Amino acid sequence: MLVSAKEMLEKAKAGHYAVGQFNINNLEWTKAILQTAQELNSPVILGVSEGAGKYMAGYKTVVGMVNGMLEELKITVPVALHLDHGGYEACYKCIEAGFSSVMFDGSHYPIEENVEKTKELVKVCAEKGLSLEAEVGSIGGEEDGVVGMGECADPKECKMIADLGVTMLAAGIGNIHGKYPANWQGLSFETLDAIQALTGDMPLVLHGGTGIPADMIKKAINLGVAKINVNTECQLAFAAATREYVEAGKDLQGKGYDPRKLLAPGAEAIKATVKEKMELFGSVGKA
Ligand code: 13P
């Protein structure tokens, strides 16, 4: 059964580790992530962006697929199904479809409007037992057509949103979705420290997990990050493994064109990436 992300993230924050949110795109992705979490006895959050939800034929299809897998693959570790960077309407659609967690990304609204809409969703999510992630300060780079400027959040605005009763808070600290440019300045630990000082026990969320060096990840966890989002890195690993298979001409040998064979190296590559991240984040054995 899907669970809200509340308990797993509170435990992570108290235990100084982080739970990975891995974005899903299709059946192979979902299965690879769930199997890895189960093998490593780790809690996990499956992230679904609005674009990925549309691609997978709608939120209800996603809920059906994930619930089916939890049962058929006998997954017993805590799993949350989470809307990533949701707009106001998408949040309601996912709540209705059976997601166990949503992110309302109101970072592009003026802070007053972000507060109003977040407040309303806090109430709805509490009634239905879902966890809710809010965002302050847009996260850089492009994700599913949403372009962020990569600003550092204002710690006082973070406190304002945290006090509304959200479950977890994403704050821009110089992080960027996708690959980091060569001249990236790194994470702003000063900002993160100031945010944690004001928000206390609130689990903080680090977006743009792809390509952040291990020492920065560890430092961020020490400063209160309890959820780390990874998307691009699984995509890169999947693409590289698939390219290798095709370039080696394996799709032309025997029944190598069978999608169950063609997509297998990519799925294995996702598993390896997820394992590496769970080990780095410290969530192994914490289910
Ligand atoms: P990356 O694609 O950079 O790993 O970011 C993922 C993310 O933050 C999803 O919200």
Cα separation, 113 vs 117, in Å, equals 6
The yes-or-no verdict on residue 141 having pLDDT over 90 is no
Provide the pLDDT for residue 146: 60
Provide the pLDDT for residue 287: 97
Q: Write the residue with the smallest CA distance to atom 1 of ligand 1.
A: 208
Provide the pLDDT for residue 182: 84
Q: What is the dihedral of CA 20, 46, 23, 262, to 10 degrees?
A: 110
Residues 199 and 136: beta-carbon distance below 8 Å? no
β strands within the chain, DSSP E: 19-23, 44-49, 79-86, 101-104, 131-136, 141-143, 146-148, 168-171, 204-206, 225-230
Q: Closest Cα partner for 50 from 4, 88, 20?
A: 88
Q: What rounded mean pLDDT belongs to the chain? A: 95
pLDDT digits (tens, 9 = 90+) for 213-226: 999 999 999 999 99
Q: Write the residue with the smallest CA distance to atom 9 of ligand 1.
A: 229
| Mutational test site, ligand 1, from 85, 231, 270, max ligand atoms within 8 Å of CB | 231
In this structure, the residues whose C-beta lies within 6 A of any atom of ligand 1 are 23, 47, 84-85, 177-178, 207-210, 229-233
What sign for the dihedral angle of Cα 31, 10, 141, 100?
positive
- State mean pLDDT over 173-178: 91
pLDDT digits (tens, 9 = 90+) for 3-13: 999 999 999 99
Provide the pLDDT for residue 144: 62
pLDDT digits (tens, 9 = 90+) for 183-200: 888 999 999 999 999 999
Single-letter residue type at 10: E
Q: 145 burial class (0-12, 13-18, 19+ CB within 10 angstroms)?
A: exposed
Rounded CA Rg of the chain: 18
pTM confidence score? 0.96
Residues 137 and 151: beta-carbon distance below 8 Å? yes
Least confident residue range of 31-35, 116-120, 143-147, 205-209: 143-147
Confidence grade of residue 138 (pLDDT, cut at 50, 70, 90): confident
pLDDT digits (tens, 9 = 90+) for 55-111: 999 999 999 999 999 999 999 999 999 999 999 999 999 999 999 999 999 888 888
Catalytic residue flag (residue 84): yes
Strand partners, 141: 148
Q: What's the gap in Å between 162 CA and the centre of ligand 1?
A: 22
The CATH number assigned to the domain with range 6-239+272-281 reads: 3.20.20.70
- State mean pLDDT over 107-122: 91
- Of all residues in the chain, the percent with pLDDT exceeding 90 is 86
Provide the pLDDT for residue 150: 66
Provide the pLDDT for residue 145: 60
Residue tagged active-site, from 84, 105, 163, 251: 84
Provide the pLDDT for residue 185: 85
pLDDT digits (tens, 9 = 90+) for 235-247: 999 999 999 999 9
The yes-or-no verdict on residue 202 having pLDDT over 90 is yes
Neighbouring residues of 241: CB distance < 8 A, sequence distance ≥ 6: 265, 266, 268, 269
Cα separation, 153 vs 228, in Å, equals 17
Single-letter residue type at 192: L
The yes-or-no verdict on residue 283 having pLDDT over 70 is yes
Confidence grade of residue 180 (pLDDT, cut at 50, 70, 90): confident
Provide the pLDDT for residue 285: 98
Provide the pLDDT for residue 106: 87
| Mutational test site, ligand 1, from 225, 229, 234, 276, max ligand atoms within 8 Å of CB | 229
The yes-or-no verdict on residue 143 having pLDDT over 70 is no
Provide the pLDDT for residue 284: 98
